[in-house]
Amino acid sequence: MEGSGTCQGLILVSIVTWICVSSYLKLTHKFRSLVQPWVSRQVVGDVPLILNIQKHQNRVFDAFFSCLSCVVSVPFYTAFLPLLFWSGHGRLARQMTLLIAFCDYLGNCIKDVVSAPRPSCPPVRRITATKDEEDNAMEYGLPSSHTLNTVCLSGYLLHYVLSSLEHENASVQYYGFALACLLVALIAFGRIYLGMHSVVDIIAGLAIGVLILGLWLTVDEELDHFITSKQNVSSFWTALSFLLLFAYPIPEHPTPSYEYHTAFTGVALGIVTGVQQTYSQYHHEGAPQIFSPELPVSAYLGRVMVGIPTILLVKFCSKSLAKWILPTVSNALGIPIRSSTYVPKLKLDNGYADAKKTDEAKNSAGYLQKLREFLSQESFDIDTGIRFLQYAGLAWSVVDLVPSLFSYINL
């Protein structure tokens, strides 16, 4: 990615073309009808193996694998990435943020296209490690997002650490690779033990994760160079984020995956725009790193104590502003809107529920259909825009507002 206007235009035009072609040819429906029967048979065939594994259940294994699942969960990302940015490892933090966003988008796209029923519970026993898993236990499917993310993030972290060493050491590389493989294997096995995935989900997560990691390692240098030094970064990434909301495939049934994708797409936009504007001040390669004389542990702990409450406040304010601004603008433009969660006065009455089932499914992904049927659409769910702006504001504060505050109070 050279960052030129022509290259950026070609990328955006390619995405628009894909949206139009895939919608016109109904590629989502065709691919699902082709792959879903095979996936369903594999899921059913994996049940005896899952039951054999779960025969060895005990409280120690339950707690151990539940904790491992939390390591690659959404709450962990939310807490870990700001800490990584404030520790001075800006390049690693922004690369992992974008990698998470890409894995989340691609993994959830495939999951919502290749949707197959999960093994029933019972006989399979499910242990939910986090609140989001408890709410959406039946939604997990191919590929295993935990396995996919573990492959990509552990692999990229290993690559970053090894490339940062001044002298190559074969034993360090060997033990690092072995540790990464062990983590992936434990996460993959744990997802089966917890009853959250079938073997076919794990295999798909491993395969897709390896492919994404290989692709990312070939473009990460150019991508980082584009974000930190090129022009039109903010405008291009805003247009890209907007198009990705339209490019998401239509699921067979409404799922929460689109909400996760919307949130991380907003996070990626906030990180990119914030870093692009403040790279030379706070996120360059010469920025003080933790454990250095310029950033001792005491100063880093001070950053954490100041930064966490600040970004939480920004998240709350961003959500409140979006809940006020978006309905106001929509009403001014005469766009009919509704809200399923964030704006109580815009929630649908029960009498409309049956008439809105199809529209709710479209809200998860059918944005092209919304554009084509704009004049006949009764209402639009505004929660997507609110969620997107909320997380974009949160991410922007992590890399722009909070570092400025650190500079002001000499942290």
Please determine, for residue 378, whether its predicted confidence score (pLDDT) is greater than 90. no
**8 Å CB contact between 90 and 228:** no
Predicted model pTM: 0.84
- Per-residue confidence at 377, pLDDT binned at 50, 70, 90? very low
What region does 3 belong to: left with phi over 0, alpha with psi -120 to 50, or beta?
left
Query: What pLDDT does residue 141 have?
Result: 66
Distances (CA, A) of 200 to 105, 113, 114, 123: 20, 15, 12, 18
What is the Rg, in whole angstroms, of the alpha carbon atoms belonging to the chain? 22
Query: What pLDDT does residue 134 have?
Result: 60
- Per-residue confidence at 43, pLDDT binned at 50, 70, 90? confident
Distances (CA, A) of 213 to 142, 146, 150, 168, 210: 18, 14, 10, 21, 5
- Per-residue confidence at 269, pLDDT binned at 50, 70, 90? very high
**8 Å CB contact between 118 and 138:** yes
- Per-residue 3-state assignment (H helix, E strand, C coil) for the chain: CCCCHHHHHHHHHHHHHHHHHHHHHCHHHHHHHHHHHHHHHHHHHHHHHHHHHHCCCCHHHHHHHHHHHHHCCHHHHHHHHHHHHHCCCHHHHHHHHHHHHHHHHHHHHHHHHCCCCCCCCCCCCCCCCCHHHHHCHHHCCCCCHHHHHHHHHHHHHHHHHHHHCCCCCHHHHHHHHHHHHHHHHHHHHHHHHCCCCCHHHHHHHHHHHHHHHHHHHHHHHHHHHHHHHCCCHHHHHHHHHHHHHHHCCCCCCCCCHHHHHHHHHHHHHHHHHHHHHHHHHHHCCCCCCCCECCECHHHHHHHHHHHHHHHHHHHHHHHHHHHHHHHHHHHHHCCCEECCCCCHHHCCCHHHCHHHHHHHHHHHHCHHHHHHCHHHCCCEECHHHHHHHHHHHHHHHHHHHHHHHHHHCCC
Tokens for 98?
């974008």
- Per-residue confidence at 140, pLDDT binned at 50, 70, 90? low
Q: Residue 284 catalytic?
A: no
How is the chain split into domains, by residue range?
A: 5-408
Query: What pLDDT does residue 166 have?
Result: 64
Tokens for 111?
């999951």
What pLDDT, in 10s, does the model give residues 299-331?
Answer: 999 999 999 999 999 999 999 999 888 888 888
The single residue of 146, 159, 225, 261 carrying the catalytic annotation is 146
**In whole angstroms, what is the distance from residue 305 CA to residue 191 CA?**
34
Cis, peptide link before residue 296, omega less than 30° from 0: no
**Mean pLDDT across the chain, nearest whole number?**
82
Query: What pLDDT does residue 3 have?
Result: 46
The proportion of the chain whose per-residue pLDDT surpasses 70, expressed as a percent, equals: 86
**8 Å CB contact between 238 and 347:** no
| Average of per-residue pLDDT across 167-186 | 85
Q: Residue 283 catalytic?
A: no
The single residue of 56, 159, 167, 197 carrying the catalytic annotation is 197
